[in-house]
């Protein structure tokens, strides 16, 4: 019982910390303009370099955790890749995701780069907390995988590699390899809730692709 109470207390502390940080960062009644979001994205990129996959240093107060989730979709891999990798298709299917603002979309060699900010509106105690996640996506359609790196308050970084594997019968397995960096006091909360959010999105995208909506 004591151990359970300690776990619940830690989760409550983490949730409160995250929501407090987010509510201080933005409010839903004053949405930032696309130009302001682009400036924020650039500041986050310059400051945090969220594509850097170097693990947190020992004693830094930050920790890393990983998870991996898979789902099978009854559709060919190229079709699944095109629908799944389009971040706009996640709107309404990802928890609380309301808007995506693309700042840059360009190709370099065989890789397509998309710099964007995802806007989530999270209900909390009768109010709406706006969360902004700054991200860079790198797509490799010929190799059937893409990568996404993100940064959001309170200094949470994620590194994602999403792989599409062809299966017999025109089916596709989608596997998401997820890595999260966060303050040590928050890491369990971040990885648990981050993974659950991705699982919900996987299920919603599967339904949309198989039904023909995507």
The pLDDT value recorded for residue 9 is 37
pLDDT at 26: 46
Per-residue model confidence as pLDDT tens digits over 45-104: 999 999 999 999 999 999 999 999 999 999 999 999 999 999 999 998 987 899 999 999
Which residue(s) pair with 122 in the sheet? 129
Question: How many other CB atoms are there within 10 angstroms of residue 21's CB atom?
Answer: 17
Output the pLDDT for position 129. 81
**pTM, whole model, 2 decimals?**
0.85
The residue with greater pLDDT, 5 or 78, is 78
Q: Which residues contact 161 (CB under 8 A, 6 or more apart)?
A: 145, 146, 147, 176, 177
Please check the confidence at residue 21 and state whether its pLDDT lies above 80.
no
- Per the model's pLDDT, the better-predicted residue between 122 and 157 turns out to be 157
Distance CA 29, CA 124 (A): 14
Number of Cβ within 10 Å of residue 5's Cβ equals 9
Give the C-alpha separation, 83 to 206, whole Å: 10
* pLDDT tens-digit series, residues 125-170: 788 888 899 999 999 999 999 999 999 999 999 999 999 999 999 9
């Amino acid at each position: 019982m004591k151990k359970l109470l300690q776990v619940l207390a830690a989760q409550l502390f983490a949730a409160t910390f995250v929501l407090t940080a987010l509510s201080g960062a933005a409010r839903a009644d004053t949405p930032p303009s696309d130009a302001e979001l682009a400036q924020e994205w650039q500041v986050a990129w310059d400051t945090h370099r969220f594509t850097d996959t170097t693990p947190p240093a020992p004693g830094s107060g930050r920790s890393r955790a990983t998870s991996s989730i898979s789902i099978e979709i009854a559709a060919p891999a190229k079709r699944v890749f095109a629908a799944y990798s389009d971040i706009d298709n996640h709107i309404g299917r990802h928890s609380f995701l309301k808007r995506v603002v693309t700042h840059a979309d360009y190709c370099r060699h065989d890789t397509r780069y998309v710099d964007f900010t995802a806007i989530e509106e999270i209900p909390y105690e009768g109010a709406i907390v706006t969360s902004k996640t700054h991200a860079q996506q790198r797509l490799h359609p010929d190799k059937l995988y893409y990568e996404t790196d993100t940064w959001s308050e309170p200094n949470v970084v994620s590194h994602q590699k999403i792989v599409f594997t062809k299966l017999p019968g025109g089916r596709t397995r989608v596997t998401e390899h997820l890595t999260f960096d966060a303050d040590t006091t928050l890491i369990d909360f971040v990885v648990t809730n981050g993974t659950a959010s991705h699982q919900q999105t996987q299920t919603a995208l599967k339904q949309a692709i198989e039904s023909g909506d995507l």
